[in-house]
Amino acid sequence: MALVDATADGIAPGMLGALASVLQIQVDRDLRPRWGIGASVGAVMRGARPPGSSWPLWMVDDVQEAEGVHFAARGVPAAVVQVDARWTATASHELLEMLGDPWRRRFLTARSIDPAAGGRLVHYLVEIADPCEAFGYMINGVQVSDFVTPTFYGGGRGPFDLLDRISRPLEIPPGGSISWVDPHDRRWYRKGPDGQIVTGAPARRAPHATADRDAALAGVP
């Protein structure tokens, strides 16, 4: 994972390297034992290009309609992060989700949280920082993002997120979100930060489920 400064004025000297060190601690100490996922995290000197084998996280001045987003460009996972007051937590959020679902198409099956579904099985899009994105913690004085554990999706006991703020599987606290496809009607559903469940368009056989979800729920209040 390569953190790249693509801002107009440049990030303060040393800040990007310090964040890379913090994110390495988060991956090694917090993420790997729970998800079995690892990565090397480094910072790229301003003006240099990330190594060809790396997954870049571009630090930019503005990201439209979000503070950060991850995607796959020409088969390589990547992300953009808006440098603002919360940029270290956003970078952590996007890095965690890139590692949890690099190709944006991973689902886990569990009971629906929609009361109208009667407890039938649905397919949850794996975005490990979204359900608890209102929560964060400090590593060496730097703010990073909370994330859910595999037991969040069912099949075990807690903790269901790193900070143990979630009390049961598939609980979405205020400020968090989760998306799923219901095989009954093949539609996308989402429980958002306000706690409301909304229904979107039918899922398609898109190469990236996240993009399909975003299109299916575009304009849904």
Question: Which pLDDT score is estimated for 113?
Answer: 97
The predicted structure's pLDDT at residue 147: 98
Asked if residue 175 and residue 134 are part of one domain, the reply reads yes
Cα angle 28-93-125, degrees, rounded to a multiple of 5: 105
pLDDT value at 72 more than 90: no
More confident residue, 31 or 154: 31
90/136 same-domain check:
no
Same structural domain for residues 78 and 120? no
86 and 109 in a single domain? The answer is no
The count of structural domains within the chain is 2
- Residue 197 pLDDT exceeds 70: yes
pLDDT at 48: 81
Domain boundary among 103, 134, 153: 103
Same domain, 124 and 82: no
**39-67, pLDDT tens digit by residue?**
999 999 887 888 888 999 999 999 987 89
Q: State whether 20 and 120 are in the same domain.
A: no
Position with higher pLDDT, 93 vs 70: 93
pLDDT for position 53: 87
Q: Is the pLDDT of residue 102 over 70?
A: yes
Complete DSSP assignment for the chain: -EEEE--SS-PPTTHHHHHHHHHHHIIIIIIHHHH------EEEPTTPPPPTTS-EEEEES--TTSSEEEEEETTEEEEEEE-STTHHHHHHHHHHHHHH-TTS--EEEEE-S-GGGTT-EEEEE--TTSTTTT-EEEETTEEEE--B-GGGGSSS-S-SBTTS---STT---TT--EEEEETTTTEEEEE-TTS-EEEEEEP---S-HHHHHHHHHTT--
CA-to-CA distance for 88 and 112, rounded, in angstroms?
33
**Interatomic CA distance for residues 146 and 93, integer angstroms:** 8
Which residues span the domain enclosing 59?
A: 1-103
| One domain for residues 126 and 77 | no
pLDDT tens, residue by residue, 158-187: 999 999 999 999 999 999 999 999 999 999
Confidence of residue 221 (pLDDT cuts 50, 70, 90): low
Domain boundary among 42, 70, 103: 103
Same domain (yes/no): 121, 200: yes
Instruction: Give the pLDDT score at 74.
Output: 78
Same domain, residue pair 16 and 93: yes
Are residues 99 and 117 located together in one domain of the fold?
Answer: no
Is the entire prediction scored with pTM above 0.75?
A: yes
Neighbouring-strand partners of residue 56:
2
